[in-house]
Amino acid sequence: MIFPSRLCEGDTIGIIAPAGPVDLEDIKKGIPFFENLGLCVQLGQHVDNVYGYLAGTDKERLEDFHDMVVDPNIKAIIFARGGYGTARFVPSINYEWVRRNPKIIWGYSDITYLHTAIRQQTGLVTFHGPMVASDIAKPHFDYFSATMFNQLFQPTCLIYSEYLSPLCAHYPGETAGQLVGGNLSLLISTLGTPFEIDTKDKILVIEDIGEEPYRVDSMLNQLKLSGKLREARGIVIGDFANAESKLNHSLTIEEVFHDYFSNIGIPVMGGFKIGHCYPHFAVPLGAYAKLSTYNKQLVIDPGVK
């Protein structure tokens, strides 16, 4: 794996919108957070463009990404929000540029597609964490979520235990491997493409928002039938916000998890505050991790060097 260099005080980060359109005022509300960390901020040329449900055309959004990648003054790329759109320009990314200019790449939700493509094409560790307009600019952005950015300034071993949230073992065991995954619906959308998620011998993280139990069932079934669950070494179930069913008769989300994971044969643990939630535990994807249902811990190696 390729590990990006840590941030230092005075470094410049770039903010771009690779998916849905963003209100520039929301980005401006988030900028002081980074300035208080001792960082300078540079906005992408097209960051506030609007092209229907996209933040500019594919060409414009790709241009902003490439500009940030090749600019030696930019030490990290932090995304403004998710939504939809990163998958549209993923085939056109110059992955050699990314490989030659390894830097921190941070975001989640629709960014899952970008994380997966970049990691599997270049070996670069990227970060699944809260974004500028959709999280940092909001009044409910909490202190703990803010502290997760500290891992970018110093190589830090992350330890998730029940000090943060109750954890539930769906299948017992201990395992170790590279941490991969992210938003479940985005992972499903990679299947059958050149950027299909590789789960072999990996610890797979899944999370989502606004998906009813039958939809989560459908997506887990697709992962199962495609062999992705069987190939994994372990599964980390993050937050599934707003998963209440609108049907008169429905399984609960926990019953769905029980159906798929209670006899899976690899360690599976749920309850992690990873995803569309607060606090938001940010993790380096591609880093080495250890999962134990016995002591209820997820331990992740540093994502920067």
What's the CA gap between 103 and 75, in Å, rounded? Answer: 6
Which residues are CB-contacts of 294 (< 8 A; sequence separation ≥ 6)? Answer: 172, 173, 174
Active site includes 145? Answer: no
Catalytic residue among 46, 128, 170, 276: 276
State the catalytic residue, choosing from 46, 60, 109, 189: 109
Q: How far apart are CA 225 and CA 183, in angstroms?
A: 18
Q: Is 207 a catalytic residue?
A: yes
- Both structure tokens of 208: 């989502």
Q: 262 an active-site residue? A: no
- Catalytic-labelled residue, pool 145, 185, 189, 207: 207
Selection from 237, 291, 240, 283 nearest residue 145 by Cα: 283
Whether cis (ω within 30° of 0) applies to the bond prior to 4 is no
CB 169 within 8 A of CB 292: no
| Residues facing 235 on adjacent strands | 204, 268
Distance, CA of 273 to CA of 128 (rounded, Å): 12
Query: So which residues are the catalytic ones?
Result: 109, 207, 276
